[in-house]
């Protein structure tokens, strides 16, 4: 499975490279976020039927076979060595460094819960800082999910039989 997926990813990246377009340019053409476009190319996201024609228009090199593969639910994973890559390591470091504070603010503003990792929008933008240096802006826009109290009456698998 993983080797087949890798071959498809290599083909998709080749199509993207041949287009000469950036992920941001493809995102602008499709109405997707640049990170979601990258996820599609890396087979970490599922290409939806309504989006396929938009992506084909942005990447004319996509074959029917590649679009068919992208339309299947992906095998979402990552290689453990990926954490060694400096940009990914630093992102992980930033989340670990700010994580407790972010969690406290989420709990303070929303209550006991978490941010969804499934219902998430993510984008990367480039801006100029006050000092004139380029800055990376990573926006993670996730749905809030509240933790529920575990009442047995609410557990459908334990629903009590009604007595007549």
Q: What are the pLDDT digits (tens) for 115-146?
A: 998 899 999 999 999 999 999 999 999 999 99
Could you give the CA distance from residue 101 to residue 81 in angstroms, rounded to a whole number? 28
Sequence-separated (6 or more) residues with CB below 8 Å from residue 41: 9, 12, 13, 16, 23
pLDDT at 5: 59
Query: In the numeric block, which tokens belong to residue 18?
Result: 């041949």
pLDDT for residue 110: 95
Distance of CA 98 to the CA centre of its chain: 20
User: Running DSSP on this structure, what letter comes out for residue 76?
Assistant: -
Task: State phi, psi for 51 to the nearest 5 degrees.
Answer: -90, -25
Active site residues: 90, 93, 116
- What's residue 6's pLDDT? 63
All residue ranges of the chain with pLDDT < 70 are 1-6, 159-164
Give the model's pLDDT for residue 132. Answer: 97
pTM: 0.81
Asked whether the beta carbons of 31 and 2 are under 8 A apart, the reply is: no
Q: What is the CA radius of gyration of the chain?
A: 21
Residue 51: how many other CB atoms lie within 10 Å:
19
């Amino acid at each position: 499975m993983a080797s087949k997926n890798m071959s498809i990813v290599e083909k998709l990246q080749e199509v993207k490279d041949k287009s000469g377009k950036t992920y941001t340019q493809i995102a602008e053409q499709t109405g997707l976020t640049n990170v979601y476009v990258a996820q599609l190319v890396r087979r970490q996201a599922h290409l939806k039927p309504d989006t396929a024609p938009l992506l084909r228009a942005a990447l004319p090199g996509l074959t029917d076979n590649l679009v068919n593969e992208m339309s299947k639910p992906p095998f979402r994973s990552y290689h453990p060595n990926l954490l060694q890559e400096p940009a990914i390591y630093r992102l992980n470091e930033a989340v670990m460094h700010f994580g407790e504070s972010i969690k406290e603010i989420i709990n303070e503003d929303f209550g006991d819960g978490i941010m969804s990792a499934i219902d998430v929008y993510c984008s990367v933008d480039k801006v100029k800082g006050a000092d004139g240096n380029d800055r990376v802006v990573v926006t993670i826009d996730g749905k809030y999910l509240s933790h529920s109290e575990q009442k047995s009456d609410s557990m459908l698998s334990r629903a009590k039989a009604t007595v007549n």
